[in-house]
Amino acid sequence: MQYNAVPLQKLIEQFERMPGIGRKTAQRIAFYILGLPENESKAIADAINDACKKIHKCSVCCNLTEDELCPICKNDKRDHSVVCVVEDSQSLIAIEKTKEFSGVYHVLHGAISPLDGIGPEQLTIKELIARLGSDEIKEVIIATDSDIEGEATAMYLSKLIKPFNIKITRIAFGLPVGTDIQYADEVTLSRAIEGRRNM
Amino acid sequence: MQYNAVPLQKLIEQFERMPGIGRKTAQRIAFYILGLPENESKAIADAINDACKKIHKCSVCCNLTEDELCPICKNDKRDHSVVCVVEDSQSLIAIEKTKEFSGVYHVLHGAISPLDGIGPEQLTIKELIARLGSDEIKEVIIATDSDIEGEATAMYLSKLIKPFNIKITRIAFGLPVGTDIQYADEVTLSRAIEGRRNM
């Protein structure tokens, strides 16, 4: 039986589809929105429409931005000869927060995943190659995730970039800071040994 | 530093305010929405506007509905002489799902909570009293939550309804089905002993 009015049910279904939201949370959010004053619920709808209308890909690095160029590509103080390739804008933000990287980025908007029907042509790899051909880029740091898709994408990119005679690096994988070796999983530990450095 | 474009940040903030959603989930949802085709993101915004526009309180029981009367108040097969008073529509749905109750409801839209500035006048108590005066109601079941606010509301309502000479009942509190007595908290256990029944 349908317990909720149709427009309410539709709203709950919209939230249920979102990542990290289950049925109960979707219901809670829908009732929360219905309980808001009209201007506040409208503000949520407007924020969605507004963001989807105004936000698009930076014409250089494909990061999400309001303007033609994203703030990082626009910034003269950044080192435009080092490009860090990431899967998505969230990864970019995570790296920015470390304040360790002063180069620029390239956002792929995904990773190669044949099972999900995502091949290289669905990603912004074409745009990356175009940058390599025209710009004075000295190093490409591949910072895709350390899962199967991220690794496959990294391999694919490194083969593709080789002919450009540009230095290609991959971010380091090993023990997260603060972990006990005894609790580390085997794959991480072997990567940590494999990637050992002189000290 | 602001890592996200303004419209994106605004969207994240809208989601962060929602119950059960933290910063990370809000960010994830916002990026998910930006990644949707335009018609799908618009559908979410429309669902919000639509629900807020079309859904209002039933003119009898104050449940959320699209029509003048909610499906339960409209239903002749329900026993209109028994009114179950609940705090919100979610409680109503929970009770409906038990399929144990064939009466009608009254939705208070909250509970008395002086600390949050919610007094009886913010709830639909006026509407409830009006129903008692005019309709042929034989029993009022008070099914507010078993927390402090719910109990206070139940006490307040029972005093208010007494003069009408209507049977007033409160749903039973005790051990949830399937629990071990040894793990029950003391308050629940004392309520279970206090509310014991002949067998």
3-state secondary structure of A77: coil
Q: Is the pLDDT of residue B1 over 60?
A: no
Q: Exposed, middle or buried by CB within 10 Å (0-12, 13-18, 19+), for A191? A: middle
Complete domains list, chain A, with CATH: 6-54 (1.10.8.420), 64-172 (3.40.1360.10)
Percent above pLDDT 90 for chain B: 73
Element (H, E) at B139: strand B139-143
pLDDT at residue B129 in the model: 94
A14 touches chain B (CB under 8 A): yes
Q: Is the pLDDT of residue A9 over 70?
A: yes
3-state secondary structure of B195: coil
State in Å, rounded, how far the first CA of chain A is from the last one: 67
Amino acid at B86: V
pLDDT at residue B11 in the model: 94
What's the pLDDT band for A1 if we cut at 50, 70, 90? low
B74 touches chain A (CB under 8 A): no
Q: Of the ranges A41-55, A185-199, B8-22, B28-42, which one carries the lowest mean pLDDT score? A: A185-199
pLDDT at residue B78 in the model: 94
- Tokens for A118, please give them: 């995502």
For A101, list phi and psi in degrees, rounded to 5.
-115, 125
Q: Exposed, middle or buried by CB within 10 Å (0-12, 13-18, 19+), for B159? A: exposed
B164 touches chain A (CB under 8 A): no
Amino acid at B183: Y
- Is the distance from CB of A83 to CB of A137 less than 8 angstroms? yes
Residues 6+ apart with CB under 8 A from B145: B87, B91, B111
In whole angstroms, give the CA distance from residue B9 to residue B3: 9
Mean of pLDDT values over A121-126? 94
- Write the pLDDT tens digit of every residue in B97-116: 998 899 999 999 999 999 99
Task: Give DSSP secondary structure letters for B56-109.
Answer: EE-TTT--EESSSS-HHHH-TTSEEEEEEEESSHHHHHHHHHHT---EEEEE-S
B91 touches chain A (CB under 8 A): no
Of B19, B44, B66, the CB nearest to A5: B66
- Write the pLDDT tens digit of every residue in B45-74: 999 999 999 999 999 999 999 999 999 999
Percent above pLDDT 70 for chain B: 99
Mean of pLDDT values over B5-15? 93
- Write the pLDDT tens digit of every residue in A49-75: 999 999 999 999 999 999 999 999 999
pTM for the structure as a whole? 0.78
3-state secondary structure of B171: coil
Q: Is the pLDDT of residue A77 over 80?
A: yes
A77 touches chain B (CB under 8 A): no
* Cα distances (angstroms) measured from residue A35 to each of A8, A39, B18, B66: 12, 11, 12, 15
B34 touches chain A (CB under 8 A): yes
In whole angstroms, give the CA distance from residue A178 to residue A108: 30
Percent above pLDDT 90 for chain A: 73
Top pLDDT among B135 and A188 is at A188
- Is the distance from CB of A166 to CB of A152 less than 8 angstroms? no
Which residues of A, range 109-138, sit inside 8 Å of B by Cβ?
109
Mean of pLDDT values over B123-138? 90
What's the pLDDT band for B182 if we cut at 50, 70, 90? confident
Element (H, E) at B151: helix B148-161
Which residues of A, range 37-56, sit inside 8 Å of B by Cβ?
38, 41-55
Q: ipTM value of the model?
A: 0.81
* Residues of B whose CB is below 8 A from A3: 92-93, 96-97
Q: Inter-chain contact B50–A5, Cβ cutoff 8 Å?
A: no
Of B38, B55, B96, the CB nearest to A5: B55
- Is the distance from CB of A160 to CB of A125 less than 8 angstroms? yes
